[in-house]
Amino acid sequence: MRDQFHDQLDSVFGDLAAICRQVETAVSQATKALMTGDVILAEQVISADAEIDRARERVEESSFNLLSLQQPVAGDLRTVVAALRMVSELERMGDLSVHVAKIARLRVPEIAVPEAARETMQRMAVVAEDMVVRVSQIITTRDVEAAIALGRDDEEMDQLRRTSFAELLSDDWADGVEAAVDIALLGRYYERIADHAVSVANRVVFVVTGESPRAAS
């Protein structure tokens, strides 16, 4: 009976990793749409978000079934509860990708990111996507060291966010208020994707060790 329970729990974590890969695709495609003004790709990101929502519902249903039928305790209960919180974070990352795609779509036939902000915004997108890729691997392997390292590497995103604000407030900014608002929002979306990735990684640490990495630092 317990073997069956742990097989089901492993299946839930497999579903979480699969959702994370969907989010990775969403972040990548939303960024491409943003940087190229590809309205068709932006629409694909927006439409595909429903698949992430359905996957989240399946994970929630599986987790609730485990809670009600198996009545887990101690470490097993911690794992199921963490899975419920993680899937919510992953869904939110998908939503943020949709926000990026919607800005891309809104500015077509123009490109939303002006040349003055392009380098910083591109780097923010690369960092966010890399963190999503890594958190997918962390969910699969439950690698505590990799999870803790991801949290430390979030500092680059924080620095990029500060750089973006400095560009917007510079006397050299010549692209107007509308573009500035877009860049401010986009920076926030990528920053939040990274924050959610770190939060998911921290929950993996908690599942494995029973301790929060932030509390232990």
pLDDT at 166: 95
pLDDT per position as a tens digit, 56-67: 999 999 999 888
pTM: 0.93
CATH number of the domain where residue 137 is located: 1.20.58.220
Question: Would you place residue 215 in the very low, low, confident or very high pLDDT band (cuts 50, 70, 90)?
Answer: very low
Number of domains in the chain: 1
Q: Max Cα separation, the chain?
A: 67
CB 167 within 8 A of CB 121: no
Flag whether pLDDT at 47 surpasses 50: yes
Cα 89 to Cα 95: distance, rounded to the nearest angstrom: 10
pLDDT at 153: 78
pLDDT at 89: 97
pLDDT per position as a tens digit, 129-180: 999 999 999 999 999 999 999 988 789 999 999 999 999 999 999 999 999 9
CB 105 within 8 A of CB 36: no
pLDDT at 7: 85
Chain centroid to Cα 41, Å, comes to 19
Angle at 164 between CA 161 and CA 166, to 5 degrees: 110
Flag whether pLDDT at 216 surpasses 50: no
Report which of residues 68 and 111 the model is more confident about: 111
Domain span at residue 156 reads: 2-216
CA nearest neighbour of 2 among 75, 64, 54: 75
Cα 174 to Cα 192: distance, rounded to the nearest angstrom: 27
pLDDT-wise least confident of 26-35, 73-82, 102-111, 140-149: 73-82
Give the mean model confidence (pLDDT) for residues 70-77: 78
pLDDT-wise least confident of 65-74, 80-89, 175-184: 65-74
Computed over every residue of the chain, the mean pLDDT equals 92
pLDDT-wise least confident of 79-93, 109-123, 147-161: 147-161
